[in-house]
Amino acid sequence: MLKAVTDWLLSHKYNLATAILGAAALIAAGTNSRIAVAVMLLAVLPSLWIKATAPVLIPEPEPEPPEEPLCDVKSAFAGFDSPVYMLDPKANVIYQNPSARHVFGEIEPGQHISARIRLPVIMDMIRETIASGRNGMTEYSETLPGENVFQVRMIPAETQEGKAIRFYVLIFRDISESRRIDRMRSDFVANASHELRTPLASLRGFIETLLGPARTDTAAHERFLTIMLEQVTRMSRLVDDLMSLSRLEIKARVAPEDAVDLVPLIGSVCDALAPLATDLGVEIKRHLPDHSINVSGDRDELTQVFENLIENACKYGQEGKIVDVTLIEKPRQPIEVSVIDYGPGIPEDQVPRLTERFYRVNVESSRSKKGTGLGLAIVKHILTRHRARLLIRSELGRGSTFTVRF
Ligand SMILES: Nc1ncnc2c1ncn2[C@@H]1O[C@H](COP(=O)(O)OP(=O)(O)O)[C@@H](O)[C@H]1O
Ligand SMILES: [Mg+2]
């Protein structure tokens, strides 16, 4: 009230001054005409001065008071795709957004939040936030139907318009995906370090022996240095594979567009692997058409795919003695390349895991055959980028078929 009066007085100070001086002039006129003229001039001066100095004021439209101070906030939360509640200071629900309704079910405005959310960690956090007036945060996980982790935050807020309303925003965020990626990343780093640590430890052992007990044993030198060279080669294979994977990850979403003729490409992969096959006592049989079959792709990457598959078939299907490589093209059907071996096969429950990084059916057998456990992971990445698929069929004791379907 007092503020309104002072405001009014301040904004009308010049008019008031004019009025007071004018009145004084009239009174003075009754006594002395010179004084009256002087006072009248003084009365006019302030209004002249206002004209010269006062800024031109554009009248601002009075802001319309919102019907309800929380309307805007509610409509903002309605668009969130994670559950959001607005609570009053007694933890009664003022508003629930559609996502909260979908996840936790309908709750009437005015009902206590515990009617829908009963988890003690969340209820404790709500109580604490209301008591302290400071932001609160907690996490909880659900193990059914899947492993889901939620982060729950509660933030005190107040509306500025009109009468102040204090409320709390309770937000749920599903962080399961980012947790899963974190875990994958740390597993990957742990696996990669473990793979590098084994050859490093062996190198260190040999170096120490060469510097110590075997310093003068020239016969041992050659033996040790040969093993050391093998270990170093294994490490560089692993680093090469890791680099391939990381390069592929970077360009995962870009489909390669060159036209690649699969017939000569597969032919030259078979040629390149012939010496290895001979060493293993395996014959690679090609069943390729005598005309070109083009797909859009990246020549080097597709070479890497068939190298991995045919090499695996020779190494792990060695007992079968034969590896068939067939390229089939039928009208109106996808182009398919199959690499078939007649070796021991792969247990059914392990087939879906073969394309995981570092997954090996038998770690020792893979290591002894110069495997890194990354080959099929690389194959899968390349094929995904080529919009192609890898299909694996295997039967214990009969062998395996790895098919690339373009
Ligand atoms: N043709 C196959 N027959 C049997 N097992 C196979 C075959 N191809 C792959 N595997 C299994 O899958 C695992 C993963 O293969 P890969 O990713 O190429 O890794 P690496 O060959 O480096 O061990 C191999 O260690 C092996 O156990
Ligand atoms: Mg391999």
Ligand 2 center to residue 368 CA distance, Å? Answer: 12
Ligand 1 in reach of 346 Cβ (< 6 A): yes
CA distance 53 to 49: 6
What is the structure's pLDDT at 159?
A: 75
Task: For ligand 1, say whether the CB of 93 is within 6 Å of any of its atoms.
Answer: no
Tell me the pTM: 0.67
30: which residues sit within 8 A by CB, 6+ positions away?
none
318 CB within 6 A, ligand 1: no
Q: Which of 308, 354, 358 to mutate to test the pocket of ligand 1 (most atoms within 8 A of CB)?
A: 354
pLDDT at 51: 46
Give the closest ligand to the alpha carbon of residue 313: 1
* pLDDT for the residue numbered 364: 86
The Cα–Cα gap between 189 and 191 comes to 5
Distance 360 CA to ligand 1 centre (A): 6
Residue 9 CB neighbours (<10 A):
10
- The bound ligand whose nearest atom lies closest to the alpha carbon of 241 is 1
In the numeric block, which tokens belong to residue 347? 């247990």
**Ligand 1 atom with the shortest distance to the CA of 399:** 3
Q: Which structure tokens are listed for 275?
A: 């010496």
Q: Which parts of the chain have pLDDT scores under 70?
A: 1-69, 144-146, 160-164
Mutate to test the pocket of ligand 1, among 309, 362, 376 (most ligand atoms within 8 A of CB): 376
Q: How do 258-261 and 166-174 pair as beta strands?
A: unpaired
